[in-house]
Amino acid sequence: MALIVQKYGGTSVGDVDRIREVANHVARTRAAGNEVVVVVSAMGKFTDDLILLAHDVSSTRPAREMDMLLTAGERISMSLMSMALGAIGVKSSSFTGSQAGIITDTSHERAKILEIRPDRIREALDEGLVPVVAGFQGVSTERDITTLGRGGSDVTAAALAAALKADVCEIYTDVAGVFSADPRVVTKAHRLDKVSFDEMLEIASTGGRVLMLRSVEFARRHHVPMHVRSSFTWEPGTWIVEEDPTMEEAIVSAITDDTSEAKITVAGVPDRPGVAATLFRELANDDINVDMIVQNTSAYNLADISFTVAKTELKAAMAVCEKVQKEIHAASVTSDDSIGRVTLVGAGMKSSPGVTALMFETLYKDNINIEMISTSSIRISCVLRADKVADAVRLLHTAFGLDGE
Amino acid sequence: MALIVQKYGGTSVGDVDRIREVANHVARTRAAGNEVVVVVSAMGKFTDDLILLAHDVSSTRPAREMDMLLTAGERISMSLMSMALGAIGVKSSSFTGSQAGIITDTSHERAKILEIRPDRIREALDEGLVPVVAGFQGVSTERDITTLGRGGSDVTAAALAAALKADVCEIYTDVAGVFSADPRVVTKAHRLDKVSFDEMLEIASTGGRVLMLRSVEFARRHHVPMHVRSSFTWEPGTWIVEEDPTMEEAIVSAITDDTSEAKITVAGVPDRPGVAATLFRELANDDINVDMIVQNTSAYNLADISFTVAKTELKAAMAVCEKVQKEIHAASVTSDDSIGRVTLVGAGMKSSPGVTALMFETLYKDNINIEMISTSSIRISCVLRADKVADAVRLLHTAFGLDGE
């Protein structure tokens, strides 16, 4: 008998029919002899509607009150789910984040989980019930209601799976799994049966939209296999598992793309210690997430530092850079919001020379210019003009032999 | 500086504009130098919508899950209210029933408050905040979410006012207070400035729809004055206070009417001890609330027992009576759902002979037949044909000198 944590996102429980379909699948999983814990998001766009309502009612939206407001959504979906299970003879009980023992820090709207005390969930399982747990929410050490930020329900599922020592954490969504590239860009993209945690982390952090980074990190740290699959077709999806050292790894598993970022270049900076530290400390102090960073030094002991930030944070980031410019004696600060990034991810890359060369040759053959390069042992990212990104992904998908039937 | 608990019902916080208006009133109350605790219901018909959704999703709606579902409503209204207060510079924090320390028994959907531990509310007040508390909900001794049943938000307000030793519990609603009769029936009905707790209990239990019995009982027991008033005009409403022994009391304060009940008559019952006990014990076992009970004995040592129940419970009550009929050797069981009740309430009645006589004469003059009579020291109720109720109320309102200008 396996213990399975099943997480259903907003589209999976978007209306009454969908809730009933999910209940049927939970019943099937139970009937196959498994213990099941269900984690649900709020129904469809309900959370977005609440946010609009808050904007309507007030210009002041303290994070504590936003958390109180938004957690109403899962409360509705989880109790309805529990009733839907009851209707088909599956005994269940719903639990808020607080009741499920999701203890977080006090950072409202993006709380971090400090501890899971799943006693009530364990008890419910022991009584033969299916616990239905509110995703996305917890209770802080100050006894206030908190939310876990974007992708929070995935984090709840992974954390509960870890605490309960579940056999698998299933993430149900509206796509069939993780693909070799975005199917909207590459029609020949195919679903991956299996990726390693490390690959998934790179895919998630470079534009793969299926899973949020935090939940993958959680599952990796606690050795909980994840299974991303569709709640519309119910077919098997993509497993995310520990690397299997006995297995030959794909050199390139997936190609991701991301056009949500902009580039900032701080040019003509004296090449001495502490300059980058000053710049990125100031950005961090303003809560700006910096992604790719590239620095190179010219002949005159002057360095250019380029980095990418989310387009939504470009204005704030530019303000910080312009403030710091004088302090670090930079010649200029410029930005560019017409960039895009293409990334190759593959665990086999580290033992395969020539991947970089093939990537660059492929882009060069089509006259696509590379503006920034950044690599890890299992990833190569190139920044290009945004309007070349789709072409680049398709060319690389073919060049690395990923095109399906 | 007074401590005021203000409760706002569903229509008072029905939309974003209403929430803002309420926030303004809270700000005014604060600016006048008072401490304020706000208790809110769910917005408008939101709770009804959730109930429809539950009916849609499942034929099985366990009370525990219904409570989880319905408490989402106050969560939304209270956080929005707190934001609206913030927008006009009033610092506040919202609290769930659980956070406000409303500890209940484990009877889902109609939990009783066992204890109030308002430590967090007290702390918030001491920090200069306006606590905004979810009405209608609590947490059980088993740590499950509970709701307090119909009128539950009034109960929350009265209970919090008692626990905090508030100076007044203000109940804001869509009417201007308690009236001498239902203004939809009697155009000349006038708002009462003041009624005693005993009168209010009688008014509430005989058809006055403004306040639920339980909240009045709570306030009376803990000596918390209540003030029922309009959140649309903000004018002073009706105070519900302890009887003032130095004051002359109105003989008749209000006339209520109620056509929501039906009558059951169990006729030809042997007049011996234990018969009524058997009948009403069986009804109680089936959770049927019996209201007026009248019994009289005929010449042949046979008794007729008549009583009223809510029309919604008539079918269930008849089933019990027909089951018990043989056991108590009753000749017949009949029901009548075309009855109505008219009630005079007045604290001065107990020292004024002649009220009953004037009531009966007034009805007789208009040829209205009285089918059942029941009295307490400050109340007289008569059961009539339902279609005579409105006429009876109007005639009595005039006869007892209650018609306003």
Q: Does B47 touch chain A (CB under 8 A)?
A: no
* Architecture per CATH, A3-174: 3-Layer(aba) Sandwich (3.40)
Q: What is the pLDDT of residue B243?
A: 82
Instruction: Decide: residue B338, CB within 10 A, 0-12 exposed, 13-18 middle, 19+ buried.
Output: exposed
- How close B156 gets to chain A, by Cα (Å)? 19
Q: Over the stretch B9-52, which tens digit does the pLDDT of each residue have?
A: 999 999 999 999 999 999 999 999 999 999 999 999 999 999 99
In chain A, residues with a C-beta closer than 8 Å to the C-beta of B145 are 96
State how far the Cα of B61 lies from the Cα of A21, in Å rounded to an integer: 17
For chain A, positions 4-23, list CB contacts with chain B under 8 A.
16, 19-20
Q: Look at residue A404 and tell me whether its pLDDT is greater than 80.
A: no
Instruction: Kindly tell me the burial class for residue A354, based on how many C-beta atoms sit within 10 Å of its own C-beta (0-12, 13-18, 19 or more).
Output: exposed
Quick one: B121 exposed, middle or buried, by C-beta within 10 A (0-12, 13-18, 19+)? buried
Summary mean pLDDT of chain A? 92
Across the interface, whether the CB atoms of B94 and A68 are under 8 A apart is answered yes
Cβ B72–A75 below 8 Å, yes or no? yes
Q: CB of B63 within 8 Å of any CB in chain A?
A: no
What is the model's pLDDT at position B216?
92
A295 pLDDT more than 90: no
Are B71 and A66 a contacting pair at CB < 8 A? no
Nearest chain A residue to B67 by CA distance is A79
Q: Chain B 67-106, CB below 8 Å of chain A: which residues?
A: 68-69, 71-73, 75-76, 78-80, 82-84, 86-87, 93-94, 96, 99
| Triad A297, A298, A299: Cα angle to 5° | 125
Among B residues 102-161, those touching chain A with beta carbons less than 8 Å apart = 120, 143, 145
Sign of CA dihedral A94, A98, A102, A107: positive
pLDDT of residue B247: 67
The Cα–Cα gap between B81 and B104 comes to 25
pLDDT attached to residue A357? 87
Domain regions of chain B by residue span: 3-174
Interface A–B counts its CB contacts (< 8 A) at: 116
Q: Out of B20, B68, B143, whose CB is closest to A75?
A: B68
SS (H, E, C) chain B: CCEEEEEECCCCCCCHHHHHHHHHHHHHHHHCCCEEEEEECCCCCHHHHHHHHHHHHCCCCCHHHHHHHHCHHHHHHHHHHHHHHHHCCCCEEEECCCCCCEEECCCCCCCCEEEECCHHHHHHHHCCCEEEEECCEEEECCCCEEECCCCHHHHHHHHHHHHCCCCEEEEEECCCCCECCCCCCCCCCCECCEEEHHHHHHHHHCCCCCCCHHHHHHHHHCCCCEEEEECCCCCCCEEEECCCCCCCCCCCCEEEEECCEEEEEEEEEECCCCHHHHHHHHHHHCCCCEEEEEEEECCCCEEEEEEEEEHHHHHHHHHHHHHHHHHCCCCEEEEECCEEEEEEECHHHHHCCCHHHHHHHHHHHCCCCCCEEEEECCEEEEEEEHHHHHHHHHHHHHHCCCCCC
- To test the contact with chain B by mutation, choose from A50, A67, A76 the residue with the greatest count of B C-beta atoms within 10 A, namely A76
**A263, containing H or E segment:** strand A261-270
Q: What pLDDT is recorded for position B298?
A: 67
Residues of chain A with Cβ-Cβ distance to B69 below 8 Å are 75-76, 79-80, 83
Kindly determine whether residue A57 and residue B93, on different chains, have CB atoms separated by under 8 Å.
Answer: no
Do the beta carbons of residue B256 and residue B207 sit within 8 Å? Answer: yes
Nearest by CB to residue A60, choosing from B66, B71, B87, is B87
Distance from CA of B15 to the nearest CA of A (A): 9
Asked if B56 has any chain A CB less than 8 Å from its own CB, the reply is yes
C-beta atoms of B57 and A16 within 8 A: yes
User: pLDDT tens, position by position, for chain B (405 residues)?
Assistant: 899 999 999 999 999 999 999 999 999 999 999 999 999 999 999 999 999 999 999 999 999 999 999 999 999 999 999 999 999 999 999 999 999 999 999 999 999 999 999 999 999 999 999 999 999 999 999 999 999 998 899 999 999 999 999 999 999 999 999 999 999 999 999 999 999 999 999 998 888 777 878 899 999 999 999 999 999 999 999 999 988 776 667 789 999 999 999 999 998 888 777 888 888 889 988 888 888 888 877 667 788 889 999 999 999 999 999 999 998 889 999 999 999 999 999 988 877 778 888 999 999 999 999 988 888 888 999 999 999 999 999 999 999 999 975
pLDDT, tens only, B203-262: 988 887 778 788 999 999 999 999 999 999 999 999 999 887 766 677 899 999 999 999
Instruction: Please report the pLDDT score of residue B380 as a whole number.
Output: 92
SS3 A308: strand
Question: How high is the ipTM of this complex?
Answer: 0.82
For residues A352-373, give the mean pLDDT.
89
- Write down the pLDDT at residue B207: 84
- Comparing A328 with A137, the larger pLDDT belongs to A137
